[in-house]
């Protein structure tokens, strides 16, 4: 913790000297899960791996510097990570050179991961992201992004020491349609590592925008592909919709050849109070039902919730649980 505070103090002094605009942001959360057997675990709606994440940023016309530390779940403080972004357009403008695209160079303790435009209504995709296990933040990998307005962006990264690479692109050809594609050399799907090249692709079509509907309706899909082992592939597809304070979704997932269905909806009672509920049909070859109901309330910019649910058909007391917690950001 002392190392983190010293680093932040030094960064603040540097900021005062170079007239960069300092920014201090972060988030904190805690969640508890209590099953009907009386067991209490640290397992909730937020990121169970840490309680807090703090970031200190310095921002200038030519570059940005971000310093981040994470409070781990074992109450220790994680390593301090730092990364810098060089704004190539602004740098070239100082010698009167202009570019038709926006170019940025990234360096530092970063681990580039793929973007997804999938709607992810049930949160099933939360456990997945595409990155390379050959890209280590401690090796100070470098990356570059090129974007043309809001239509297309491309980002590539490389770990020179471990020879890992990452490439990703996002397209918005017309309003209402978004597509993303990513590829890495040694794939990590977040939940597990895949041997060999991996890819991910996603799309989201806002039918309401394209057809001029008077209610919300979109169709979305996503896939994670292991080039050398198709048994580790994962697929997601969802239809979401709503009107005013109501929203509904239906989602299908195929996670390593296990098929699942999810249905849910929410109602925004007020700007601060929302209720939601859902049903899960997991493993269609050996069906197990689950369900949940949740109430969420925001007070003084602090998000709180309580949730009841069960899995595995609710046959055992341990299958039933209550989750509660809070989170806030600044």
**274-297 pLDDT, tens per residue?**
999 999 999 898 899 999 999 999
Q: What is the DSSP letter of 185?
A: S
Q: Cα(218)–Cα(233) distance, rounded to whole angstroms?
A: 24
Q: Cα(88)–Cα(176) distance, rounded to whole angstroms?
A: 30
In a 3-state reduction of DSSP, which class is residue 32?
strand
Neighbouring CB atoms inside 10 A of 55's CB total 15
* pLDDT value at 48 more than 60: no
Pairing of strands 320-329, 40-41: unpaired
Per-residue confidence (pLDDT) for residue 170, from 0 to 100: 97
Per-residue confidence (pLDDT) for residue 20, from 0 to 100: 63
The structure's pTM equals 0.83
CB 131 within 8 A of CB 190: yes
Contacts 24+ apart (CB under 8 A), 296-305: 297/272, 297/273, 298/271, 298/272, 298/273, 299/272, 301/328, 301/329, 302/326, 302/327, 302/328, 303/327, 303/328, 305/45
What average pLDDT is seen over the chain?
Answer: 87
* pLDDT value at 31 more than 90: no
């Amino acid at each position: 913790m002392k190392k983190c505070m010293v680093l932040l103090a030094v960064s603040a002094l540097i900021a005062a000297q170079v007239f960069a605009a300092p920014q201090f942001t972060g988030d904190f959360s805690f969640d508890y899960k209590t099953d009907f057997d009386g067991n209490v675990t640290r397992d909730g709606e937020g990121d169970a791996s840490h309680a807090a994440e703090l970031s200190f940023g310095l921002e200038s016309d030519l570059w940005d510097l971000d310093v981040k530390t994470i409070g781990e779940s074992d109450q220790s403080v994680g390593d301090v990570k730092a990364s810098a972004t060089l704004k190539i357009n602004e740098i070239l403008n100082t010698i009167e050179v202009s570019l038709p695209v926006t170019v940025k160079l990234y360096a530092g303790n970063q681990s580039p991961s793929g973007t997804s435009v999938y709607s992810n209504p049930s949160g099933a995709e939360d456990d997945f992201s595409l990155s390379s296990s050959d890209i280590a933040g401690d090796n100070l990998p470098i990356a570059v992004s090129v974007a043309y307005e809001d239509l297309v962006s491309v980002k590539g990264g490389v770990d020179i020491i471990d020879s890992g690479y990452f490439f990703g692109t996002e397209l918005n050809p017309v309003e209402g349609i978004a597509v993303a594609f990513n590829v890495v050399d040694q794939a990590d799907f977040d939940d597990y590592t895949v041997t060999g090249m991996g890819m991910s692709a996603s799309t989201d079509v806002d039918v309401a925008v394209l057809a001029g509907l008077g209610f919300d309706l979109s169709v979305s899909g996503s896939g994670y592909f292991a080039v050398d082992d198709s048994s580790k592939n994962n697929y997601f597809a969802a239809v979401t919709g709503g009107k005013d304070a109501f929203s509904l979704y239906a989602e299908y997932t195929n996670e390593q050849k296990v098929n699942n269905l999810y249905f849910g909806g929410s109602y925004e009672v007020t700007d601060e109070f929302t209720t939601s509920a859902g049903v899960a049909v997991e493993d269609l070859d050996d069906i197990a039902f689950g369900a949940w109901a949740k109430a969420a309330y925001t007070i003084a910019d602090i998000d709180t919730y309580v949730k009841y649910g069960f899995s595995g058909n609710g046959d055992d007391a341990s299958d039933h649980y209550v989750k509660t917690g809070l989170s806030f950001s600044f």
